[in-house]
Amino acid sequence: MNKNKPNMKSFDFVLFSVIIILVAFGVIMVFSASSYTCALDPNINDSMYYLKRQSLWALISLCAMIYMVRFDYHKIKKYTGLLMVLSFGLLLLTFAFPEVNGAKRWIRLGPLGNFQPSELVKYVVVFFMAKGIENKGDRIKKFFSGVVPYLMIAGIYAGIVLIQKNLSIAAVIIIITLILLYIGGIKQFHFWGILVPFFGAAGAAAAIFVPYRMKRLMNFINPWATAKTEGYQLCQSLLAIGTGGIWGVGLGQSRQKRFFLPERHTDFIFSVTAEELGLIGCTVIILLFLVFIWRGIVTAIRAKDVYGTILASGITSVIAVQAIINIAVVSGSFPVTGVPLPFISYGGSSLLINLMAAGILLNISRQINKSF
């Protein structure tokens, strides 16, 4: 018997079921949110256009997830450096492509659509943190030699993403880095006394001293004051949520998706869900994400090594932070920013990367410490 072969067991079926339900729900809601406008768009003229694309990506992504379930997560260590170089190069490559809505975040892949490297970077930072924290051990408690190097690396990636005019994903990268440093065992004073105040102030400065972000902040406070201009998107989202009530107007019956609500099948798909399925449907989706977070935490606690614990914590945090920000944005609890709802919003490359990461999480659940 090969003593180096990991002891595999069946993966977390509850976690797997939640992921499948979220993906299936996403495909349905992408079709519902986009069918009306696609049918009337002379350049598309096909109500099932996004349904076909998202279904194909879902199938490919699920196959990739199953592969990652069988791929021993420890092997990721030796590819971490390569992934860091690759993702850094892809981030720089975005500047060679034309701007989209004033931002350079995407690499155009022709008929395959656009690829957003920052989706990959979020997880590459997690891989880097997991490997580094395991190797660092108790030395992580030293601020300049234990904490600062990780902040510098994560800050470089977040800085490039910020230059692409993508504050939301840059913030996600920093938030995930702070979460993993905390879980990794840094001193409480370093976390609460230095890092949280510093990045809190930096985030506030990034919003206040950049004019268009300041406008978004003001619109968030009172979107109805600029309901026809800057506050339009949030107002339409709130109208959709309010119209849905408790039970919703029915699947496929949304009125706001009919050219009123922008980004209806991407960042604001939760608004369409609220209108069509009401409070009941939204509660179910939130509960599914809560179950995902719960099982992710259980997997992290039971992981058989530090690397598995940090890796599971990071993957769970990426999904959790994005879901929280997205739902907060569409409900008017957070300034409007471009963060998709994991597993549900339209986007092939995003779905592929998220499901591959979910596959890694499931693989960690196959190798849990049975003593817990």
| pTM confidence score | 0.92
What pLDDT sits at residue 3?
47
Q: Which helix (H) or strand (E) holds 302?
A: helix 269-302
> Residue 265: how many CA atoms within 13 Å on its side-chain side?
25
pLDDT digits (tens, 9 = 90+) for 149-168: 999 999 999 999 988 888 88
For 201, the token pair is 């102030």
Cα dist from 229 to 224, 234, 270, whole Å = 10, 10, 22
Closest by CA position to 55, among listed 25, 83, 85, 13: 25
Q: What is the pLDDT of residue 30?
A: 95
Helices (H) and strands (E) in the chain, counts: 13, 2
Q: Measured in Å, how far apart are the chain's first and last C-alpha atoms? A: 25
Question: Residue 165: what pLDDT?
Answer: 82
- Between CA 35 and CA 195 the distance in angstroms is 46
Cβ atoms of 70 and 363 within 8 Å: the answer is yes
- Of 363, 298, 306, nearest to 9 by C-alpha is 363
**Residue ranges for the chain with pLDDT beneath 70:** 1-9, 101-102, 369-372
For residue 74, the one-letter residue type is H
CB 275 within 8 A of CB 236: no
What is residue 282's predicted lDDT score, i.e. its pLDDT?
Answer: 95
Give dist(CA 99, CA 114) in Å, integer.
Answer: 12
Residue with tokens 């977040």, as numbered in its chain: 158
Q: Contact, 157 vs 90, CB < 8 A?
A: no
For 33, counting Cβ atoms within 10 Å of its Cβ (0-12 exposed, 13-18 middle, 19+ buried), the class is buried
